[in-house]
Amino acid sequence: MLSYRHGFHAGNFADVLKHCVLVEIISYLKKKDAPFDYIDTHAGAGCYALASDMAQKNCEYLNGIGQLYGRSELAGLQNYLRLMEGMNPQGSLQQYPGSPLIAAQLLRSQDKAWLFELHPSDAEKLHQTLSRGRQCRVREEDGFAGLSSLLPTRSRRALILIDPPYEQKADYQRIVAALQLIHHKMATATVALWYPVVERGRINALEKQLAGSGIRNIELFELGIRADAEGHGMTSAGMIVVNPPWTLRKQMQELLPALAADLSADGKPHYRCVTLVAE
């Protein structure tokens, strides 16, 4: 249950998609002066050294941030890439920030972050990474279990990132239950759900469940590096966003084709931009 470590995958194409969406949602929420809460159910260690043994084992970042870093001409990536450059003040790409550190860099004084991480080593590193952030509360516990106690948030505005490792098949049902819980307790919250495409049938079933859940205003954005096939590991990854900013779909429609062409491993772009449930 605790074998997954994101350090092996930090900065890969799936992280690029996830963090582009995260940056754009937070940027949109900041357009209003009113505070909001950021909740991360599976926060990870917070920051990853790309020269570490973990990152170097498969060098997944080379087909992700490694191909995009420093390319300011890429439309739709400026906010994300500017943040990556800020995390690497020495100029070269050495560190990759995880979702909690990205959020911490973007939050204002009136905003708060609630970060769940169950793995003891990663939770300890997350504490160290965000030790100066008074707005960030790290909890070494199951994010699915802890989510209910935070909702509805005092601010009445929230972004919830759900990013489980999917090591267990039960995770697919737990995310559906989490979305239903959020909808019941705080229907106005924006929820960003990350998923991997290893078995397309599981994603098809997930989409069908969400479409019939009674939850409205759901968009799906998917980025792939190769066509679906058995035995290739993760071929694509996606973000399902409930109550997305009205600007997000247009941004992703412009970004995904270029991003898919840049990161494709088989010479063919693979991406989807789908309205699962209308408003």
For the annotated catalytic residues, the residue numbers are: 163
| Distance set, CA 180 to CA 23, 174, 219 (Å) | 24, 10, 16
Q: Which tokens in the block code for residue 64?
A: 């992700």
Q: Which tokens in the block code for residue 223?
A: 């980025």
- Collapsed DSSP state (helix, strand, coil) of residue 214: coil
Half-sphere exposure of 152 (CA within 13 A, CB side): 12
Of the candidates 167, 175, 182, the one whose C-alpha atom is nearest the C-alpha of residue 240 is 175
Q: Which tokens in the block code for residue 68?
A: 């995009």
Helix intervals (H) in the chain: 13-29, 53-58, 65-68, 78-86, 99-106, 120-129, 143-146, 170-185, 200-211, 248-263
